[in-house]
Amino acid sequence: MNEKTIESILKENRSFAPTQNFVKKAKLKESDFQDLRIKAEENYEEYWADLARNNIHWFKDFTETLDSSNAPNYEWFTDGELNVSYNCLDVHASIMPNKKAIIFESEDGELKTFTYKDLLEEVSAFSNGLLKLGVQPMDRVIIYMPMVPEAIIAMQACARIGAVHSVVFGGFSANALRDRINDAGAKIVITADGAYRGGKIIPLKDSTDTALEQDCECIEHVVVLKRTNESIAMDEKRDIWWDRLIHGESKHCDAVSLPSEHPLFILYTSGSTGKPKGIQHSAGGYILHAKLTNQWVFDLKDNDVFWCTADVGWITGHSYVAYGPLAAGATIMIYEGAPTYPHGGRFWEICQKHKVTIFYTAPTAIRALMKLGDELPNAYDLSSIRLLGTVGEPINPEAWIWYHKTIGKEQCPIVDTWWQTETGGIMISPIPSETATKPGSCTIPLPGIFADIIDESGNPVTEAYQGGYLVIKKPWPSMLRTIWGDNDRYVETYWEKFNNEFYVAGDSAHRDKDGYFWILGRIDDVLNVSGHRLGTMEVESALVAHPEIAEAAVVGKPHEIKGEGIFAYVVPKGKRPLGDDAEKMTVILRNWVAEQVGPIAKPDEIRYSDNLPKTRSGKIMRRLLRSIARNEKITQDISTLEDESILEQLQGKD
Ligand code: WTA
């Protein structure tokens, strides 16, 4: 987040109480939440145990709520048994089979709906297909799919039979896919012949083939959904069409009873090294929190149409598309394609057409849509919308107010939800019927979540507006369990800083005089580009993998739409390119990074120099590079700089 945003947030004093109309109609009242907060304070374990028993269908009840014997590897409801897919589908299909579970619209306007009964049958048939391929509990399955109902079906099917899925965002490259396949040791890839995006086709199967060309011995089969009818290569022994796989399969498949701690999925996210971390979540705790937060934060009611615009490739698409709302028996809207295709009003057209009542998106999308002007949203009837949400990055007050006025017509609460891939579900957020909101603040922790801000020595920061580390002081059910295959990294990244006492989120934050939380940004070398986490090291490794590049350093720079943009300093092996040559090189490198990681990692700007600024001990002076990228006055001490002459090159003056 840029300094200007921080500054404007610091000055933000406006407060918006829930409207009386909203409060009157809300499913859960303020007093319900007060009771929950009191109970969580009084008896933490009983609080979660009661919620787990009242909200989740257990095949076998648990006797122990929280097991801290291997802290910080906490376990929840350990001897309980359940099935997540059963909790999302069977429990609803048996009492309301004809309720719509999914409304799907594709970029080219194709519509499909699935009732809970349909979805259960499709998931069961696909589960049987996976079983036929020999998939067993604990086997890892990669899902590299477009944002279509089949992506959710594939996830639910894995959950049903106890396979551990790892969804890889369709915008990631073949290289990124290969790394994740290998790290997870996956047996199966589920993909499609292509995905539609912005009128173009993304060749998912081609990328899968490239990924599997070398060093992916673990993969036995590739299941391919026919989506775009592109002509693609099929390896007879390895590849099988989705339709072929389920042909003749029974539409019934028993959901297996699994221990609460059985891994539900692994989802890779960027950290401060070049290697993404496989965040591992478990069945019982995760689904409990995903369901509860859907009900609490979004005030879910029977007739809601809930549209979370996130792709299933990200955690938001797990917790608030594929799992949480289904566990809560909601109707979800999903859309495959770009928000502005074929016109800038596409999102609003969808809201009007399908009478969306709850709309949840990222600040980057809000800023991009705001830039297109008010005429677009004003041309559609958005009166069905009653609640708005945001996630993924701090929202600047200007975008918040636009969202509030132009989309919410000043009637809809906005829930600014802070959470992470690691937390599994929403942690700090307004409760729409209870909490007054302030533009730019995620307000206060949910009942049962003990968030705090602490200083370097581990003491709580009690002074208002004083920044510190955002931590969670008590384990919570949907917390990550470990980093797949690297528990040391888990302990080191999230716990060691404060002697394994608190979960360290990696964000800095402060509280205002009312105790509201304001997230200031990441404290590690992780960028937040359009709400997506990207490690600077990941982009740097991609750049130096290019044969002509010797060294690279990447920093974030405020970006009007993306929140944060990528600024790269590059040292070529040969002569430093100038003028046209530099421009040509930039095009080549941008495409190269897109190939190595994915288009989201493309640097916005690249500057060439003969060397990088380093201290005498050889450390890259990132703070200096950040200041230069932002055209700030250099205040850093550069006396330790080994080679002062490169300063002008870095500043683009030479
Ligand atoms: C940031 C996305 C401010 C934060 C669910 C966090 C936010 C990272 C907010 C996690 C918010 C998420 N306000 N910042 N409401 N929500 N963030 O893992 O830096 O993709 O650590 O999870 O996004 O990103 P992730």
Task: Quick: pLDDT tens for 110-138.
Answer: 999 999 999 999 999 999 999 999 999 99
Q: Is residue 584 part of a domain?
A: yes
What tokens were used for 414? Answer: 């906005």
Query: Closest residue (by CA) to atom 3 of ligand 1?
Result: 394
Please, which pLDDT band fits residue 207 given cuts at 50, 70 and 90?
A: very high
User: Looking at ligand 1, which atom is closest to the CA of residue 390?
Assistant: 15
For residue 643, what is the domain's CATH number? 3.30.300.30
Contact 524, 556 (CB under 8 A): no
Ligand 1 centroid–CA 10 distance in Å is 19
Determine the residue of 400, 519, 522 to mutate for testing ligand 1's pocket, defined as the one with the most ligand atoms within 8 A of the Cβ atom: 519
Could you tell me the CA-to-CA distances from 598 to 269, 309, 541, 592 in Å, in that order? 14, 20, 13, 9
Query: Closest residue (by CA) to atom 22 of ligand 1?
Result: 420
Please, which pLDDT band fits residue 10 given cuts at 50, 70 and 90?
A: low
User: Looking at ligand 1, which atom is closest to the CA of residue 532?
Assistant: 20
Element (H, E) at 496: none
Q: What is the rounded CA–CA span in Å between residue 182 and residue 187?
A: 10
CB under 8 Å to 582, separation ≥6 — which residues?
608
φ, ψ of residue 334 to 5 degrees: the values are: -130, 150
What tokens were used for 531? Answer: 């709400």
**What share of the chain in percent tops pLDDT 70?**
98
Structural domain harbouring 587: 526-650
Contact 127, 161 (CB under 8 A): yes
Beta partners for residue 437, in sequence order? 16
Query: Closest residue (by CA) to atom 14 of ligand 1?
Result: 393
Ligand 1 centroid–CA 643 distance in Å is 38
CB under 8 Å to 389, separation ≥6 — which residues?
297, 298, 308, 358, 359, 360, 361, 414, 415, 416, 417
Q: Is residue 587 part of a domain?
A: yes
Could you tell me the CA-to-CA distances from 344 to 408, 507, 561 in Å, in that order? 18, 33, 15
Lowest mean pLDDT among 181-190, 436-445, 626-635: 626-635
Ligand 1 residue neighbourhood (C-beta within 6 Å): 269, 314-316, 391-394, 416-421, 442, 505-507, 519, 522, 528, 533
Ligand 1 centroid–CA 396 distance in Å is 14
Q: Is residue 169 part of a domain?
A: no
For the cut 60, the answer to whether the pLDDT of residue 24 exceeds it is yes
For the cut 60, the answer to whether the pLDDT of residue 9 exceeds it is no
Ligand 1 centroid–CA 69 distance in Å is 30
Nearest to 41 by CA among 448, 473, 445: 448
Q: Is residue 623 part of a domain?
A: yes
Determine the residue of 172, 272, 533 to mutate for testing ligand 1's pocket, defined as the one with the most ligand atoms within 8 A of the Cβ atom: 533
**What share of the chain in percent tops pLDDT 90?**
90
Residue 229, Cβ density class (10 Å: 0-12 exposed, 13-18 middle, ≥19 buried):
exposed
Query: Closest residue (by CA) to atom 7 of ligand 1?
Result: 393
Span between the terminal Cα atoms of the chain, in Å: 29
What pLDDT, on the 0 to 100 scale, is given for residue 634? Answer: 84
What tokens were used for 287? Answer: 């689904």
- Mean pLDDT calculated for residue range 592-608: 95
For the cut 90, the answer to whether the pLDDT of residue 644 exceeds it is no
Q: Is residue 555 part of a domain?
A: yes
Q: What is the pTM of this model?
A: 0.94
Question: pLDDT tens across 28-61, in order?
Answer: 998 999 999 999 999 999 999 999 999 999 999 9
Q: What is the rounded CA–CA span in Å between residue 443 and residue 429?
A: 6
Ligand 1 centroid–CA 630 distance in Å is 23
**Helix, strand, coil shares, percent, the chain, to 5:** 35, 25, 45
What pLDDT, on the 0 to 100 scale, is given for residue 527? Answer: 93
- Mean pLDDT calculated for residue range 510-523: 94
- Mean pLDDT calculated for residue range 425-433: 97
More confidently predicted of 615 and 613:
613
Q: Is residue 235 part of a domain?
A: no
Query: Closest residue (by CA) to atom 5 of ligand 1?
Result: 420
Q: What is the rounded CA–CA span in Å between residue 130 and residue 188?
A: 9
- Mean pLDDT calculated for residue range 506-526: 94
- Mean pLDDT calculated for residue range 462-482: 97
State the chain's maximal CA–CA distance in angstroms.
74
Q: What is the rounded CA–CA span in Å between residue 511 and residue 278?
A: 31
Q: Would you put residue 598 in left (φ > 0), alpha (ψ -120 to 50) or beta?
A: left
- Mean pLDDT calculated for residue range 563-584: 95
What pLDDT, on the 0 to 100 scale, is given for residue 639? Answer: 75
Lowest mean pLDDT among 6-15, 82-91, 151-160, 395-404: 6-15
For the cut 80, the answer to whether the pLDDT of residue 419 exceeds it is yes
For the cut 60, the answer to whether the pLDDT of residue 653 exceeds it is yes
Question: pLDDT tens across 246-291, in order?
Answer: 999 999 999 999 999 999 999 999 887 778 999 999 999 999 999 9
CB under 8 Å to 131, separation ≥6 — which residues?
161, 253
User: Looking at ligand 1, which atom is closest to the CA of residue 422?
Assistant: 18
Query: Is residue 291 helix, strand or coil?
Result: helix
Ligand 1 centroid–CA 391 distance in Å is 6
Contact 480, 73 (CB under 8 A): no
Query: Closest residue (by CA) to atom 24 of ligand 1?
Result: 420
Ligand 1 centroid–CA 421 distance in Å is 8
Question: How many domains is the chain partitioned into structurally?
Answer: 1
What pLDDT, on the 0 to 100 scale, is given for residue 2? Answer: 46
What pLDDT, on the 0 to 100 scale, is given for residue 620? Answer: 86
Contact 316, 345 (CB under 8 A): no
Ligand 1 centroid–CA 393 distance in Å is 5
Determine the residue of 438, 528, 538, 564 to mutate for testing ligand 1's pocket, defined as the one with the most ligand atoms within 8 A of the Cβ atom: 528
Query: Is residue 396 helix, strand or coil?
Result: coil
Query: Closest residue (by CA) to atom 23 of ligand 1?
Result: 392
Ligand 1 centroid–CA 504 distance in Å is 14
Ligand 1 centroid–CA 210 distance in Å is 32
Q: Is residue 566 part of a domain?
A: yes
What pLDDT, on the 0 to 100 scale, is given for residue 572? Answer: 96
CA geometry: angle 413, 419, 424, nearest 5 deg: 120
Q: Would you put residue 626 in left (φ > 0), alpha (ψ -120 to 50) or beta?
A: alpha
More confidently predicted of 514 and 214:
514
More confidently predicted of 36 and 5:
36
Contact 318, 265 (CB under 8 A): yes
Question: pLDDT tens across 345-363, in order?
Answer: 999 999 999 999 999 999 9
What pLDDT, on the 0 to 100 scale, is given for residue 1? Answer: 42
Ligand 1 centroid–CA 420 distance in Å is 5
For the cut 60, the answer to whether the pLDDT of residue 292 exceeds it is yes
What pLDDT, on the 0 to 100 scale, is given for residue 63? Answer: 98
Ligand 1 centroid–CA 309 distance in Å is 15
What pLDDT, on the 0 to 100 scale, is given for residue 11? Answer: 61
For strands 503-511 and 482-483, give the pairing.
unpaired
DSSP for 78-103 reads TT-EE-HHIIIIIHHHTT-TTSEEEE
Query: Closest residue (by CA) to atom 15 of ligand 1?
Result: 418
DSSP for 131-174 reads HHTT--TT-EEEEE--SSHHHHHHHHHHHHHT-EEEE--TTS-H
Determine the residue of 5, 420, 470, 479 to mutate for testing ligand 1's pocket, defined as the one with the most ligand atoms within 8 A of the Cβ atom: 420
One-letter amino acid of 571:
V
Query: Closest residue (by CA) to atom 11 of ligand 1?
Result: 418
Q: What is the rounded CA–CA span in Å between residue 233 and residue 216?
A: 18
What pLDDT, on the 0 to 100 scale, is given for residue 646? Answer: 86
Q: What is the rounded CA–CA span in Å between residue 87 and residue 290?
A: 12
Report helix angle 116-132 to 149-161, nearest 10: 60
Ligand 1 centroid–CA 111 distance in Å is 32
Q: How many CB atoms lie within 10 A of CB 31?
A: 9
Ligand 1 centroid–CA 469 distance in Å is 14
Contact 55, 232 (CB under 8 A): no
Query: Closest residue (by CA) to atom 6 of ligand 1?
Result: 420
Q: Is residue 265 part of a domain?
A: no
When the pLDDT of each residue in the chain is averaged and rounded to a whole number, the result is 95
